[in-house]
Structure 1
Amino acid sequence: MTDRYDHLEYRRTGDSGLKLPAFSLGLWQKFGTDYPYDNQRDIVLHAFDLGITHFDNADRYGPPHRAAQKFFGEVLRRDLAAHRDELILSTKAGNPIGRSPYLTGGSRKSLLASLDHSLRDLGTDYVDIFYHHRADPETPLEESVGALVSAVRQGKALYVGVSNYDPERAHQAAVLLRAAGVPLLVHQPRYSIFDRTPETNGLLDLADDDGFGLVVYSPLAQGLLTEKYLTGIPAGARALNSAFLSPDAIDDTYRERARVLNKIATERGQSLAQLALQWVLRQSRVTSAILGASSPAQLDHNVRALDFPPLTADELALIDGV
């Protein structure tokens, strides 16, 4: 599409020169071998047509592990190879992907071997962003950071990031990376109306101080910040078959809160999902929000969150009250 870059907002990532789209496409769920390839392909290609140039992956994503990367590698080879320079591909390592002690953690062995596998899965010489997926207290931080630095110096990654680090460890990593001449580009935390941790633990302020951006995941709280569960759990819903969302979370307290939020959204002429995404992106330190998707139409709907007027102080106060 010739107008691919005309509509979506692009935000500078921390103090770097890299801009990311306000929305990224995550392949965490629904991009394994248990979903039809053609539907997955349609979602990825439609995302790119919308201007979503950042595709967030990890060695763990599937099922089985690595399946999401292998799927994306096939789409890259068949459909997007000519656009590789227009894509931001990220991957992560460090979460368990097998029983071997070398398939988990933050050791140099684990991180760099996983990156090599990921490059083969994706069929590319480099990724744009390589993350340590979660902190590993059993490995010296200097070793994990050293592996990230090596990935850049070897030309296998352009930038590095961390995910799910607490602020203290993230700051220590930023200091070590800066000293090595490979600044911390981005931190990937969970953040939504229902999970304010980056606000309460100081991560938002740290992003300013250390000069990294935030690419947030689960901005819709695994679907809780949509209209899907307002009256119950529909057949086929994620809450019935996901390890990340329990049916127990959908109780009377949840429904009461979600209905109030939905009323605020309706009065603004938007959906609950659009309200929730707009709320996350109101933070200047949030570079991008990661979207999941089960269809191109769902992507269209969520991206339109950027079309609404900014949230007012009164509306933010009402949301905080919930």
Structure 2
Amino acid sequence: AEPGADPSPNIERYKKLGKTGLVVPDVGFGSSGCPGPEVVLHCYDRGMTHFDTAEKYGSGGWGKGDYVENFIGEALHDKRDKVTITTKTVAEADDDRNRIMRKLEQSLRRLRTDHVDVYFNHAVNDLDRLKNPEWFEFVERAKQQGKIRFSGMSGHGGRL
């Protein structure tokens, strides 16, 4: 490192996210296991503007400890117009649109925002979950209500 150089990393490149028009840094904040809002703020202060989380992410790992969505909401609620936030839910094959909407609304409360930029159906690893028509009905309604801008599916293990 050069003498006097700031040893803290800073985000320098931003890219358009597919066809969404969203502009995100080439490095985002994945929040599973995040210990608290101070880490979120540290990353924001270094130029990070994309934050990814999920309803099940806890400070102690998947489903353990405090909801990480709370940390992101606490750290970024007054910076919402400067960041993109994605979160995820597990919408099962038999979940109906009303249950999925309730889960989204719980996430929005924890995130202290009225919308998320992308809302994912998390860890979709079977076709029945992928084909659930209730998910698609929910997505249309949530978009119309301004609660989500875009939607997607995430998966693990390549079992589809």
Does residue 119 of the first structure (1) align with residue 123 of the second (2)? no
Cα distance change, pair 119–7 in 1 and its aligned pair in 2 (3 A): closer
| 2:52 pairs with one of 47, 53, 56 | 56
Pairwise CA RMSD: 2.5
What is the CA-CA distance between 1:21 and the residue it aligns to? Answer: 0.7
Gaps of 5+ in 1: 1-5, 95-103, 165-188, 191-196, 202-322
TM-score (norm 1): 0.40
Counterpart of 2:12 (choices 4, 8, 11) is 8
Is the partner of 1:23 in helix, strand or coil?
Answer: coil
Shift of residue 55, structure 1, vs aligned partner = 0.6
Distance 1:134 1:149, change over 3 A: farther
- 2:71 corresponds to which residue? 71
1:105 aligns with 2:92: yes
Report percent identity of matched pairs: 32
1: distance between equivalents of 2:103 and 2:88?
8
How many angstroms apart in 2 are the aligned matches of 1:129 and 1:66? 22
3-state SS of 1:147 partner = helix
2:136 counterpart of 1:145: yes
Q: Alpha-carbon deviation of 1:138?
A: 4.0
Contact 1:24 1:53 in 2 (8 A): yes
- 3-state secondary structure, aligned to 1:59: coil
Distance in structure 1 (CA, Å) of the matches to 2:123 and 2:65: 16
Does residue 1:87 correspond to 2:83, yes or no?
A: yes
**Do the aligned residues in 2 keep the contact of 1:111 with 1:132 (CA within 8 Å)?**
no
Instruction: Quote how far apart the aligned CAs of 1:15 are.
Output: 2.2
Contact 2:119 2:152 in 1 (8 A): yes
The answer to whether structure 1 residue 45 and structure 2 residue 41 are counterparts is: yes
> Which residue type is aligned with residue 42 of structure 1?
E
1:127 deviation in Å?
A: 1.0
Change (3 A) 1:7 1:123: closer
- TM-score normalised according to structure 2 size: 0.76
Check the 8 A contact 1:59/1:65 in 2, yes or no: no
Distance of 1:56 and 1:163 partners within structure 2: 12
Q: 1:162 to 1:65 in 2, by over 3 A?
A: farther
Helix, strand or coil: the match of 1:20? Answer: strand
Pairing 1:156-305 to 2, within 5 Å after superposition: 156-164=147-155
Please give the alpha-carbon distance, in whole angstroms, between the structure 2 residues aligned to 1:42 and 1:93. 24
